[in-house]
Amino acid sequence: MPYLFTSESVSEGHPDKVADQISDALIDNFLAIDPNSKVACETLVTTGQVVLAGEVKSKAYLDVQDIARDVIRKIGYTKSEYMFEANSCGILSAIHEQSSDINQGVDRKKKEEQGAGDQGMMFGYASNETDDYMPLALDLAHKLLIELAALRRENKQIKYLRPDAKSQVTLEYDDNNKPVRIDAIVVSTQHDDFDTDAKMQEKIKKDIINILIPRVKAKYKKYSSLFNDKIKYHINPTGKFVIGGPHGDTGLTGRKIIVDTYGGKGAHGGGAFSGKDPSKVDRSAAYATRHIAKNLVAAGVCDEVLVQVSYAIGVAQPTSINVNTYGTAKVKMSDGEIAKLVEGIFDMRPYFIEQRLKLRNPIYSETAAYGHMGRKNEVVEKTFKGPDGKAFKKKVELFTWEKLDYVPKVKKAFKLK
């Protein structure tokens, strides 16, 4: 029987995402100067105020206020009427040294024996539903907001947009679990106060449907048929969204973990990513399981897969690895047998994850908005400020967990052509 499935996304200007981006900018700056930094940094943002808290063990000294203001500026909070503005907001830092009790469980004389930074379970998911092996509803929800942010920065076709926004996409699936149409699209975007409430809502709805939607549709040639005249649109359904961002709602690091991953498809272990260095398996193992899942699907082992790994704090070897192919396996093996083979292909000890995916590099700011998964793997040059105040550049490879570099190894192990 056909069914509906929904995923949501939030923009870079959403208060929780502002917090995530500040936390990850701090991670990047610590790692750029001292790759061995251990960091767990939380951010709170509210009206005119930013609070930084967390634990750090690093040789680097940072001007955390300057870094936070730069992030806020790039997002677009640059006007006093937003009640949260890069140059004028207050920034309080309560960052202190990491607990030696935690650190002794992670650091080892032999790097290969590095323990997990915490206990817990992490999940990675992949599906051949889209070209980037992501669930389509979430992919569409992200693209709506990426294009909306582009329209805001262009400031040509739509001139009243403010940074905060949310989206939601509902798809209808057939009996074969294939998407057949878009049932509903929700877009709530912060905006300037430029007319009566009714006229503002009418103008915004018209612009979203006639300007934003065609731009998104153009990026989905494979699924352009899903866009139809029967889509139910809910555009700024409350009627007005002038008060937004950290002034409208307090933001915290790590509150958008489903947006960050698979939009409700698969599963989530509960641990947030942003603000954590890669010794925290909440982050590194979630990336590693995504890497496994994507390579399994790309190699033709299955059409859809969920990979789970779990750890005990201070212990290098995972306590379990589990694979669920949802009955889509193309090989004559049980999911348990597939998991055993996976264990032999991918070393899931924390040190080896860090090395395999190059995680001790400043690569995290780019993950902090529009999802950590399904993104473009590329090499970029980033600029940082050293302890002496001088700028230096660093080339880094982003989204290494999205590479299909293990497809040949997977095919060989599973005897696939």
**Cβ atoms < 10 Å from Cβ of 187:** 24
- Report pLDDT for 98: 72
The verdict on whether residue 218 carries a ligand-binding annotation is: no
Q: CA–CA separation, 392 vs 383, rounded Å? A: 6
The verdict on whether residue 240 carries a ligand-binding annotation is: yes
Q: How far is CA 357 from the centre of its chain?
A: 16
Tens digits of pLDDT across the chain (417 residues): 899 999 999 999 999 999 999 999 999 999 999 999 999 999 999 999 999 999 999 999 999 999 999 999 999 999 999 999 999 999 999 999 876 655 555 665 677 778 888 899 999 999 999 999 999 999 999 999 999 999 999 999 999 999 999 999 999 999 999 999 999 999 999 999 999 999 999 999 999 999 999 999 998 888 889 999 999 999 999 999 999 999 999 999 999 999 999 999 999 999 999 999 999 999 999 999 999 999 999 999 999 999 999 999 999 999 999 999 999 999 999 999 999 999 999 999 999 999 999 999 999 999 999 999 999 999 999 999 988 889 999 999 999 999 999 999 999 999 998
Strand partners, 178: none
Q: CA–CA separation, 274 vs 43, rounded Å? A: 10
The verdict on whether residue 255 carries a ligand-binding annotation is: yes
Q: pTM of the entire structure? A: 0.96
Q: CA–CA separation, 144 vs 158, rounded Å? A: 14
The verdict on whether residue 202 carries a ligand-binding annotation is: no
The verdict on whether residue 8 carries a ligand-binding annotation is: no
- What is the maximal distance between C-alpha atoms in the chain? 67
Domains of the chain as residue ranges with CATH: 3-10+135-244 (3.30.300.10), 15-99 (3.30.300.10), 120-128+266-413 (3.30.300.10)
The verdict on whether residue 147 carries a ligand-binding annotation is: no
The verdict on whether residue 256 carries a ligand-binding annotation is: yes
The answer to whether the CB of 87 falls within 8 A of the CB of 49 is no
Q: CA–CA separation, 287 vs 346, rounded Å? A: 12
The verdict on whether residue 162 carries a ligand-binding annotation is: no
SS (H, E, C) the chain: CCEEEEEEEECCCCHHHHHHHHHHHHHHHHHHHCCCCEEEEEEEEECCEEEEEEEEECCCCCCHHHHHHHHHHHHCCCCHHHCCCCCCCEEEEEEEECCHHHHHHHCCCCHHHCCECCCEEEEEEEECCCCCCCCHHHHHHHHHHHHHHHHHHHCCCCCCEEEEEEEEEEEEECCCCCEEEEEEEEEEEEECCCCCHHHHHHHHHHHHHHHHHHHHHCCCHHHHHHCCCCCEEEECCCCCCCCCHHHHCCEECCCCHHHHCCCCCCCCCCCCCCCECCCCHHHHHHHHHHHHHHHHHHHCCECEEEEEEEECECCCCCCEEEEECCCCECCCCCHHHHHHHHHHHCCCCHHHHHHHCCCCCCCCHHHCCCCCCCCCCEEEEEEEECCCCCEEEEEEEECHHHCCCCHHHHHHHCCCC
The verdict on whether residue 272 carries a ligand-binding annotation is: yes
The verdict on whether residue 164 carries a ligand-binding annotation is: yes
Q: Is 131 exposed, middle or buried (0-12, 13-18, 19+ CB in 10 A)?
A: exposed
Q: CA–CA separation, 26 vs 68, rounded Å? A: 8
Phi, psi of 397, deg, nearest 5: -105, 120
The verdict on whether residue 372 carries a ligand-binding annotation is: no
The verdict on whether residue 14 carries a ligand-binding annotation is: yes
Q: What is the CA radius of gyration of the chain?
A: 22
- Report pLDDT for 109: 65
- Report pLDDT for 56: 95
The verdict on whether residue 165 carries a ligand-binding annotation is: yes
Q: Which long-range contacts (CB under 8 A, 24 or more apart) does 344-348 make?
A: 344/413, 345/406, 345/409, 345/410, 345/413, 346/288, 346/291, 346/292, 346/406, 348/285, 348/288, 348/309, 348/318, 348/321
Q: CA–CA separation, 354 vs 363, rounded Å? A: 12
The number of C-alpha atoms within 13 Å of 327 and in the hemisphere containing its C-beta is 2
The verdict on whether residue 265 carries a ligand-binding annotation is: no
- Report pLDDT for 100: 61
Phi, psi of 131, deg, nearest 5: -65, -30
The candidate with the shortest Cα–Cα distance to 44, out of 67, 72, 20, is 20
